[in-house]
Amino acid sequence: MDDPNAPELLIRKTGRAGRITFNRPQALNALSHQMALDLHAALDEWRHDPDVALVIIDAKGDRAFCAGGDIAAVYRGGLAGDHQIGRDFFRDEYLMNAAIADYPKPVVAFMQGFVMGGGVGVGGHASHRIVGDSSQIAMPESGIGLIPDVGGTWLLSRAPGRIGEYLTLTGGRMGAGDALHAGFADFYLPEAEWPALIAKLEETGETASIKGAKRPDSELADRDLSAFGGKNLDEIVKTLEQAGEEDMLKPIRRNSPLSMAAGLVMVRAARGDQRIQDALSREYRFTWRATELGDFIEGVRAQIIDKDRNPAWRADASPKHVNRMLAPLGDQELNWEDAK
């Protein structure tokens, strides 16, 4: 068990580096609301600190860099009719995601094991993203009635071909080679070599010492994903059925129809965005409403609370309801001016 008195994040300065280490290995380093706030505060503190030349983000334990957001409190709040708990968590998490993406100093992320959802929101927006042999990167949110958030639609929209749509609908996992090909990572380096590189970065404060090894092959690069160019979810499913693509259809049949329909619209919309903040604002419109008008409560119940893996999806997945989920929030919109 994790020590309940141990800090969830280890934040310190070592040499020329600001160091942030996830410290909840037994919980697969799940990102809590307080961790998102503390991580953002550390970045703000080091922004103009002349002693900090770069920031290193890593994690304790072999199994996960960060397997996602710690959404138990969001679930309990939504179940009790208190939707503000989730809204506050997602808002503060997204502000932190944008701070990483726009940080004026290099941010180096070492992403072993599971890197999912909220973990992608931290590591996936770093300027130097390092993966190893154990790395498993995914945006599986449609399985819990959410959408690829934390800037996930921004990253997915920039993946080659139809990889963005494929990963949105299936929640498929990427090893190191696929993550590099899809633009979710920059360097492959065997994990045994990470400690020496971290020590060098701390000593020099320079990213020139980051040299990746030969990148592994990507299975995604060779897959025919043309079916995911269909105009909507129904058309994509029909094309996959005609092609007999049961491996791709299996997760699609399991995931929330509303989440997939909305995710498809959002990834395609993000292709026109000029900055990550635009994608995060669109994601926030969905997650702001997710506990009240989406499949999130049922998805978390089935996958995380009861673990029966048998969600009864009930949310309307029509284009009209997707538009409702993505409609502007008025005074509740994410405010990027205040965030500065």
* Active site (catalytic) residues: 69, 118, 141, 149
Report how far residue 154's alpha carbon sits from residue 8's, in angstroms, rounded to the nearest whole number: 27
Q: Which two tokens stand for residue 1?
A: 């068990």
- Whole-angstrom CA distances from 84 to 115, 286, 295 are 26, 14, 17
Give the Cβ contact number of residue 63 at 10 Å.
16
Q: Are 25 and 18 in contact (CB under 8 A)?
A: no
The residue written with tokens 């703000």 in the block is 44
Biggest CA pair distance of the chain: 60
- Whole-angstrom CA distances from 271 to 125, 129, 207, 262, 264 are 16, 22, 29, 15, 11
Q: Are 181 and 172 in contact (CB under 8 A)?
A: no
> What is the DSSP secondary-structure string of 215-231?
PPP-SGGGS--GGGGSS
Report how far residue 147's alpha carbon sits from residue 259's, in angstroms, rounded to the nearest whole number: 5
Query: Residue 42 gets which letter from DSSP?
Result: H
Q: Are 96 and 36 in contact (CB under 8 A)?
A: yes
The residue written with tokens 């990027």 in the block is 336
Report how far residue 248's alpha carbon sits from residue 225's, in angstroms, rounded to the nearest whole number: 10
The secondary structure element, H or E, covering residue 188 is strand 187-188
